[in-house]
Structure 1
Amino acid sequence: MHPALLEIARLGLHALPRASAGALRRYLETARPRLDLPPGEEIELFAPGARAVLARAFADIHHWLGQVSGRVPFFADIAQIAVPRPIPELAAAAAALPLLRADAPGHLADEAALAFLDRLAL
């Protein structure tokens, strides 16, 4: 599923009955080609500061992997782990919501899931 749609799916899972949540999830998994969403790799899924913590925590493992494999650095782009992506997840989800509202009526038959998308505020 596209990262811009993950929060919408998560909220639907909690708000909808099981069958409707499943219908919403299936719709979100197939809607991507019809929506003008930013590239998934531009969407930040981590909280502010989490990437720096992750980079520090992984540094020793990365060093060990390089020693064991003989390939130093093990990951050529290891520095990128600390660089936040330009679009926050909630901003991407909020931008996707009107696109989903426009697309869903022709592709999502579940009335509760449609109503959920219509009333969702991010």
Structure 2
Amino acid sequence: MFCSMRRASVDRQYVEVDMENAHFILLAGKYPDVTTIHDYIDNRERHLKDVQEACGVPRWAAKQFFLILIFGGTIATWRTEHNVSEDTVLPQICGDIFRCIAGLKADFAPQESKWLHSSTTGSL
């Protein structure tokens, strides 16, 4: 219903673009030498299927796992949200992505802080 209302209200004025795997593709562009990101992109379907099978979750929940990590969430939060036991062994890519994102955050945080400061002072 909401999508129909939105389309009607912006008819011929708005185009919605849904880029598959956008967040990881953008990260790969910023960090081209990070092999873990490229592994996820190149083998995405297999990695999603591995999470689905290991955790007994639907595809959308497997996709959400990786997005949660990009946006600062934790594996524990995802497990709780999807009723995945702490005893469930996650596929290797899960830990790899978690560590990779943590490392990228350490690199990105100073840049983000600088951008935030410049945007509030009007010197973008």
Q: TM-score, normalised by structure 2?
A: 0.27
Give the structure, 1 or 2, with the largest relative contact order (CA under 8 Å, sep 6 or more).
Answer: 1
Q: TM-score, normalised by structure 1?
A: 0.27
